[in-house]
Amino acid sequence: MTKKRAGRPKTKLDYELIEKLAHIQCTQEEIASVIGVHRSTLLRDEEFCRIYKKGIQSGKMSLRRLQWKSAEKGNVTMLIHLGKQYLGQKEGIGVSFETPLEVDKKELEKELMDKLNVMAERYKKKKNIKKGK
C-alpha cells in the first residue's frame, strides 16, 4: 500500500523558459504569471533562484554588449549614456575653482551701480522718445 501525499501535487517548473524570461529582465511576478504559480512558490525553489539570477545577469551582459557595439558605431546618445554610467560624466555646465575666488566687494558694487545707472538712462531715453519729447 502506497501513502498518498497531502496537499497539491508538486509543480514542475520549466527552467529553460524561466532563464529565457529572466534574460529579457522579466520580474519574478511576471514569470510566476506565465508559469501559472504564485511568486512565493518560485522563491521556495532553490533551482529557480539560481536560474533566475543567471538569466538576469546574462541579459544584462547582452544588453551591455549591444550598447557598446552601438557606441562603437558612433551612436552619440549611447556614448553619452555610457559616459555617465562608467565615467561619472554629467550633463550641465559646472564651474569649479581650485582656489577660492577673491572678490573686491567695493569694486563689484561700483561696477553694478554703473551698469544700473546706464540701464536707467536708456530706459528714461526710451520713455521720452515714446512720449514724443
Please give the full DSSP string across 85-124, using - where no structure is assigned.
HHH---SS-----SSPPP--HHHHHHHHHHHHHHHHHHHH
1 pLDDT above the threshold of 70: no
Phi, psi of 39 (to 5 degrees): -55, -40
Say how far apart CA 27 and CA 128 lie, in whole Å. Answer: 71
Q: Count the Cβ atoms, other than its own, within 10 Å of residue 56.
A: 19
Long-range contact pairs involving 46-49 (C-beta distance under 8 Å, separation at least 24):
47/13, 47/15, 48/13, 48/15, 48/18
Q: Which pLDDT band, with edges at 50, 70 and 90, does 2 fall under? A: low
pLDDT classification of 38: cutoffs 50, 70, 90: very high
pTM above 0.85, yes or no: no
Place of cell 558612433: 74
